[in-house]
């Protein structure tokens, strides 16, 4: 009796981008956790783990270099200027996987990645404020996130409820849009997601359980003026696309 061989499972290659700034206390732990997390995922190849260092004044660069020497998957990018958005941009430009996942040094989730890889979308967002999500952060951070998300939707005219945090991108889908993004600092991924949605790319949100691995090191009050000004500039920059 003949038999039909089942089709081999396809392996998806993933690049992980982690901006790192003064992370000597948790960098080794985070890097090992990410490497082990992807080793346990079936049908996923970690193409590269990109540590995009920016302006660290502690032992972060030294530790990142040692990790890269020990693990072939790790790529280290160095910059003297502290800029989260610019670090993300450099990491995305260096990524070689079919998908790009952005984590923070203190915020990563493999269940989200596994679920996102099954979704037919150009961008999959880990949304803290949708049904099914659980946010265990301190009250001020939860309120701040909701207010920022509301401001983004109202000022930029998009429906996506979350533009910060963990996301999975199909690299080929966003390559052209990446070249158009001008924002740095806090708004790089906000502009990227907004441009993608306004351009007609499929953006899907999935719930996520969020908890703090450590207290936030960036003061919310200090960031408010910079973020508001950045959103005004971005609203003006995206006006021709919104009109279309």
Q: Which domains does the chain have, with CATH numbers?
A: 12-243 (3.90.550.10)
Number of other residues whose CB lies within 10 A of the CB of residue 201: 17
* Lookup: tokens for 28: 């080794």
Q: Given its phi and psi angles, is residue 185 left (phi above 0), alpha (psi -120 to 50 degrees) or beta?
A: left
- What pLDDT shows up at residue 53? 98
| pTM, rounded to two decimals | 0.89
Nearest to 160 by CA among 188, 201, 132, 120: 201
Q: What whole-number distance in Å separates Cα of residue 71 and Cα of residue 48? A: 10
Nearest to 16 by CA among 43, 34, 36, 42: 34
150-158: list long-range contacts, CB under 8 Å, 24+ apart: 151/228, 151/231, 152/190, 152/194, 152/231, 155/231, 155/232, 155/234, 155/235, 156/190, 156/194, 156/198, 156/231, 156/234, 156/235, 156/238, 156/242, 157/198, 157/238, 157/242, 158/193, 158/194, 158/197, 158/198
Q: Looking at 91-130, which runs of residues are DSSP E strands? A: 99-102, 123-127
- What pLDDT shows up at residue 114? 95
Nearest to 91 by CA among 62, 122, 64, 129: 64
pLDDT in tens, 152-161: 999 999 999 8
Q: What whole-number distance in Å separates Cα of residue 33 and Cα of residue 110? A: 10
Give the residue ranges of the chain where pLDDT is below 50: 1-8
């Amino acid at each position: 009796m003949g038999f039909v061989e089942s089709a081999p499972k396809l392996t998806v290659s993933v690049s992980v981008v982690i901006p790192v700034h003064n992370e000597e206390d948790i960098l080794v732990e985070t890097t090992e956790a990410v490497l082990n997390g992807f080793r346990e995922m079936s049908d996923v190849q970690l193409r590269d783990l990109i540590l995009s260092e920016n302006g660290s004044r502690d032992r972060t660069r030294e530790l990142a270099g040692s990790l890269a020497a020990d693990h072939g998957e790790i790529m280290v990018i160095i910059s003297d200027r502290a800029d989260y958005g610019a670090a993300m941009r450099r990491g995305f430009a260096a990524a070689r996987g079919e998908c790009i996942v952005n984590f923070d040094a203190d915020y990563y989730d493999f269940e989200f990645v596994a679920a996102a890889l099954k979704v037919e979308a150009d961008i999959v967002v880990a949304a803290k404020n949708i049904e099914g999500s659980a946010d265990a952060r301190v009250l001020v951070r939860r309120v701040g996130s909701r207010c920022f998300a509301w401001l983004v939707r109202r000022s930029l005219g998009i429906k996506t409820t979350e533009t910060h945090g963990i996301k999975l991108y199909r690299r080929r889908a966003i390559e052209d849009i990446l070249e158009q993004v001008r924002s740095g600092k806090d708004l790089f991924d906000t502009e990227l997601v907004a441009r993608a949605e306004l351009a007609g790319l499929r953006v899907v949100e999935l719930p996520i359980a969020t908890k703090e691995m450590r207290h936030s090191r960036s003061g919310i009050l200090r960031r408010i003026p910079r973020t508001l000004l950045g959103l005004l500039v971005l609203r003006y920059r995206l006006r021709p696309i919104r009109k279309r």
